[in-house]
A and B are shown apart, each in its own frame.
Chain A
Amino acid sequence: MIVRMSWKNVWRSKRRSAIVVAAIALGLWGGIFSAGIMEGMAEQMVNSAIERELTHVQIHREGFRDERSELMTIDDAPEVADYARRLPGVSAVTSRSIVDGLVSSPTTSQGARIEGIVPVDEQAATALKKEVVQGAYLDTAQVNGIIIGRKLAEKLAVKVRSKIVLTFQGPDGTLIYGAFRIAGLFETPSSMYDESTVYVNQRDLFGLLGRPMIHEIGIRLSSETLVSSTQGKIHARFPALEVMNWQELAPELKVTAESTAIFMNIFLGIILVALLFGITNTMLMSVLDRVREFGMLMAVGMKRRQVFVMVMVETIFLSLTGGVAGMLLGGGTIALLQKTGIDLSMFSAGLAYYGMSSYLVPTIPASTYPLLALMIVATAVLAAIYPAIKVIQLHPATAIRTYL
């Protein structure tokens, strides 16, 4: 009955309760919407990096990532790739031959990372093919074809079908030159990446290097949840190799994802703290209107502890009503925008610098809602403390004769 009484008490002053419920609902709506955008941006940044090149798990020879020496190849690369392909949840495996070199056009030169790929494998593992915006993707049939970023093409003042020369150091230390014809230009959400990476057929690169040299195997999984188990299995099978997941490969992305989650909670926390004062004010008005009633309750035998709990429960009801409304509004807005997306093309240049697409899909992890509900209850409990203390400090004999 006390719980039912608390619920009814919330609606004694309908207008007053409705105002605070609306304030909570709108505050949370705004909070959830903003958090959804932040989380959506972070998720997009991570996904775009995984899709672009990172994949979920990468295998290298120990030390390759630090020394970047083309001599540090994965010796039994075909066997490793085959093993990875057979693991459950592995959707694609791509082997890359990587050398750092110089890309030269008739007018200028630019340092770049040259990746020798098997076009079909790379296409399955990353979004490279989809990101070709001009010309065509690499074709195994075309000898010495190359695809480069559109940004790099602009810098080199070349276009599709132009000829460019790649210069890099061979395994024996000699300089190797290779002439390539541009098959296509790609454009990823990251302009920095587009300026510094070129792709050629692995077979052509092996030809110039004089032998097959695989430096990197990228593994794409059907689900993010399989990352650590896949990583563990490969490491167990090939302990000499360095097997890393995307979070280890790009710690800055992991930090981005994690810090976004923290910022999101802080942001929602700030909103709730602001709401806390509104809730306290409303509850204070509500209890001060009912001094005589509280006096009667304590006079007839309701313990101060029970009165305290009643005020708490009322505040929790009031806050949760607004909270649930806010979560429904916020969740609904996010769900709607997940279908339509948000067009941020007017900021595309700036977003591209951070590796983000101009089409944003806001997202909120499902786990946020129960956490938010808990935060609302915690806010309500905090907000109720002052009014509840005011009530239990009342002297029943005096309170009962209070006429407002």
Chain B
Amino acid sequence: MSLIRLTGITKTYNEATIPVRALDGIDLSIDKLEFTAIVGPSGSGKTTLLNIIGGLDQPTSGSIVIEGVDISGMSDSRLVDFRLRHIGFVFQAFNLIPVLTAKENVEFIMLLQNVDKAGRDRRSVELLEAVGLKDRLGSRPSELSGGQQQRVAVARALASHPSFVLADEPTANLDSQSAFSLLELMERLNRTYGMTFVFATHDARVIQRAHRVITIEDGRIKSDRSNTPG
């Protein structure tokens, strides 16, 4: 059984006025342990597709099933809960909570999941150690470099024990060195933690390292190929 299965997904904006079809019949299946990049030029529909896979947006038609649960048509409040328990997010602009420390940022998700204090402490330290930031537990985001902030964001994404991590342009705001080491980190997490990663990206460095590359153009899948990471 696929981890993520999209069938006949369409998404049309401004249906009432001037309809814009952002996605046009997407059929896609992503399995566990994949390290997949969704690529395409601006306006191709990749962000819309990522939003739909992440349960942040609903398709106009078609179905999306994640771990056997059809989330298309799910109510907003159930979707929030679904996202909390099944999907980890990494954003382009890191989006850490500036008033919390690195450790508190990681803990925050578990707090929403009602994990007890001891459990939160243990897992947040373990994850920050895994992303190489054990010595920055008490640092605020403003005291961390971009690369370090994105590592905290990765640790936060993993904190909730998600089924997969969706990363939207995770390296776009990073210099080459930071981008490189972040990708290495995610590959390692993919291998050692068995975590599935799905990226939306323009970045050739990410595309190069992805195991599978899905190219979107004009709302359709133009190509879907396996990749040998280089």
Contact = CB atoms under 8 A, between A and B. Distances in A.
A5 B97 contact: yes
28 contacts: A1-B100, A1-B107, A1-B108, A5-B99, A5-B100, A8-B100, A12-B99, A293-B95, A293-B97, A293-B98, A296-B95, A298-B80, A299-B56, A300-B89, A300-B109, A300-B112, A301-B85, A301-B112, A303-B77, A304-B77, A396-B56, A397-B54, A397-B56, A397-B57, A400-B56, A400-B91, A400-B95, A403-B93
B123 interface: no
B163 to A, nearest CB: 13
Tell which of A300, A306, A397 has the most Cβ of chain B within 10 Å. A300
Interface of A is mostly: helix
B109 A301 contact: yes
A5 B156 CA distance: 17
Contacts of A396: 56
Given A12-B98, A397-B54, A400-B56, 13 more contacts: A1-B104, A1-B108, A5-B99, A292-B93, A300-B109, A301-B109, A301-B160, A302-B112, A303-B77, A396-B56, A397-B56, A397-B57, A403-B93
A337 B1 CA distance: 79
A9 interface: yes
A396 B166 CA distance: 15
B143 interface: no
Interface string B87-113: 001010101011110001001110111
Contacts of B97: 5, 293, 297
B61 interface: no
Given A296-B91, A296-B95, A299-B89, A1 B56 contact: no
B83 interface: yes
A301 B83 contact: yes
B209 to A, nearest CB: 24
Contact of A397 (B51, B93, B160): B51
A291 B93 CA distance: 13
A174 to B, nearest CB: 91
Contacts of A9: 99
Given A1-B107, A299-B89, A8 B99 contact: yes
Interface residues of B, number: 29
B191 to A, nearest CB: 24
B156 to A, nearest CB: 8
Interface of A: 1-2, 5, 8-9, 12, 292-293, 295-304, 306, 396-397, 400-401, 403
B84 interface: yes
Contacts of A304: 76-77, 80
B111 A1 contact: yes
A315 to B, nearest CB: 16
Contacts of B56: 299, 396-397, 400
B81 interface: yes
A299 B108 contact: no
Nearest to B108: A1
Contacts of A292: 93, 95
B218 to A, nearest CB: 20
B107 A299 contact: no
Nearest to B85: A301
A2 B111 CA distance: 9
B77 A299 contact: no
Contacts of B81: 301, 303
B169 to A, nearest CB: 10
B121 to A, nearest CB: 12
Contacts of A5: 97, 99-100
Nearest to A301: B84
A188 B47 CA distance: 84
Interface string B108-149: 110111000000000000000000000000000000000000
Contacts of B111: 1-2
A403 B94 CA distance: 13
Contacts of A300: 83-84, 89, 109, 112, 156, 160
A401 B48 CA distance: 12
A66 B141 CA distance: 81
Contacts of A303: 77, 80-81
A200 to B, nearest CB: 78
